[in-house]
Structure 1
């Protein structure tokens, strides 16, 4: 994404907490009274003791729903760190390695080298419409697939010296489907692969 060709190269390749419901039951304290007969005195009955009630058990969150939220949170963090890196033309000072494996990082690092070598950087940020479209929680290494409608139109290549926006070559897609793979490692979900499909969305 360094120059228009580098950006073409890039665009041709790629581009939140568990919900807990608490149900608490309570018993009403009722007081009844009765009156005496004619000529007698009125006497109030002893208040009825409230039943010993306990809060209903907390309902567990749906594991699949929780996993989907976690995966999308990691994907969003991955992109946030990537935007930082592309804005400065370097991975230095970012947390990309926290959210992506070497395979996924390889693509980003190649683009960053191209950007830096051409004296360019990225301005703005892409837009996303990402959904978890597959989930394998029963596997030895749980995995997930994210399908994203990636819009890189607002993410522009600029000349770092002049700040001038570099035009994108005519005909290149700026909004397309990207399929992303993720796996749950000991420290959490990781983005393992990013595959642009070259189809409009």
Structure 2
């Protein structure tokens, strides 16, 4: 399997675990830390803390059209860049106590750009940074 395929599989696995956490506003019982580290993990943990504070969870899923746009196997550690078009069309934020749907912010495109950096640590790829570009439709 090519390194680009492995990076993309890691990115997809990270999002699968993140969605499990978002559905209950808690990373417990997920393998999120196996795929997301450093800035990426901190960002997701902050999202989850915000959700718990405000009593919200996610229903549905976040769609992805991800591509590995750069791969540097010579770097120490080897690194890669993932470009994604995130799709919110099947994503719903729910207020737990009332079941009310919380609408997306005004002007938020349903499909927006996101980027991630992956590094190869101890023989496996991990996502080290994740950044949304919510103002950039795709």
TM-score, normalization by structure 1: 0.65
Matched, 1:130 2:79: no
Partners of 2:74 and 2:41 lie apart in 1 by 27
Residues 56-101 of structure 1 deviation map (CA, whole Å, 9 limit, x = unaligned):
xxxxxxxxxx101100100000000000001001111111100011
Partners of 2:116 and 2:18 lie apart in 1 by 15
> 3-state DSSP class of the match of 2:29?
coil
- The structure having more radius of gyration, on CA atoms, is 1
Partners of 1:187 and 1:124 lie apart in 2 by 33
> 3-state DSSP class of the match of 1:127?
coil
For structure 2, the residue ranges without an aligned partner over 5 or more in a row are: none
Residue of structure 2 equivalent to 1:119: 55
- How many residue pairs match? The answer is 137
- Name the structure with the higher strand share: 2
- The CA RMSD over aligned residues, in Å, is 1.1
Partners of 1:187 and 1:77 lie apart in 2 by 16
Partners of 2:115 and 2:48 lie apart in 1 by 21
For structure 1, the residue ranges without an aligned partner over 5 or more in a row are: 1-17, 19-65
Residue of structure 2 equivalent to 1:176: 112
> 3-state DSSP class of the match of 2:109?
coil
Residue of structure 2 equivalent to 1:85: 21
